[in-house]
């Protein structure tokens, strides 16, 4: 029997993971929302807050391929618009606030297209966002720091290596 929230959530993620479908999205989002509500009194979470490492791998499933990571980002860190190629991702905020913007690309192939904003929102602790294959988004930490759990469908370094993960040049885009 697991003795902490992280262990319990990993068991549930393994149970509910069945590839890209609505049930996986709904059930894993529920699990990640529970993980994001974990009390800082749990040692593993207190350690993440204390160390504030940019990225920590919490679990890698060798059978199903998903990876659970913790990311800590400082105030005003901005990640340019990007997608995750054929991969998909959940972001569950545990601490702080992060501005997420979403985009559509028009008039060009891949990263050559013009980005059109679909809007922005502020994620607060306990919220979980999902980005499916090809969804374009950016992030900006708008608090002192943020701690976010990121559940990825695969190793995104492979998506990048194969040229499927696209980063968009914001200098070419229309001004706000």
Predicted confidence (pLDDT) per residue in 7-28, tens digit: 999 999 999 999 999 999 999 9
52-108 residue pLDDT tens: 999 999 999 999 999 999 999 999 999 999 888 889 999 999 999 999 999 998 876
Looking at domain 5-172, which of 2.60.120.10, 3.20.20.70, 2.60.40.10, 3.40.50.300 is its CATH number? Answer: 2.60.120.10
Distance, CA of 108 to CA of 114 (rounded, Å): 7
Q: Residue 68 in contact with residue 8, Cβ under 8 Å?
A: no
The residue extents of the domains of the chain are 5-172
Question: Phi/psi of residue 16, each to 5°?
Answer: -90, -15
pTM of the model: 0.90
Q: DSSP letter string over 73-120?
A: EETT-EEEEE--TT--EEEEEEES-EEEEEEEEESSSGGGSEEEEEEE
pLDDT at 159: 73
């Amino acid at each position: 029997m697991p003795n902490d929230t992280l262990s319990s959530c990993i068991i549930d993620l393994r149970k509910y993971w069945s590839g890209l479908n609505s049930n996986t999205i709904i059930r894993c989002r529920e699990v990640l929302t529970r993980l994001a509500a974990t009390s800082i009194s749990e040692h593993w979470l207190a350690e993440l807050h204390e160390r504030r490492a940019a990225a920590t791998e919490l679990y890698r499933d060798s059978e199903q391929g998903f990876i659970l990571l913790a990311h800590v980002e400082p105030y005003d860190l901005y990640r340019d618009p990007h997608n995750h190629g054929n991969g998909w991702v959940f972001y569950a905020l545990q601490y702080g606030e992060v501005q997420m913007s979403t985009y559509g690309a028009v008039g060009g192939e891949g990263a050559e297209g013009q980005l059109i904003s679909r809007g922005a929102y502020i994620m607060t602790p306990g919220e979980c966002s999902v980005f499916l294959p090809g969804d374009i988004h950016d992030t900006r930490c708008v608090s002192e720091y943020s701690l976010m759990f990121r559940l990825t469908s695969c190793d995104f370094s492979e998506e990048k290596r194969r040229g499927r993960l696209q980063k968009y040049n914001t200098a070419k885009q229309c001004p706000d």
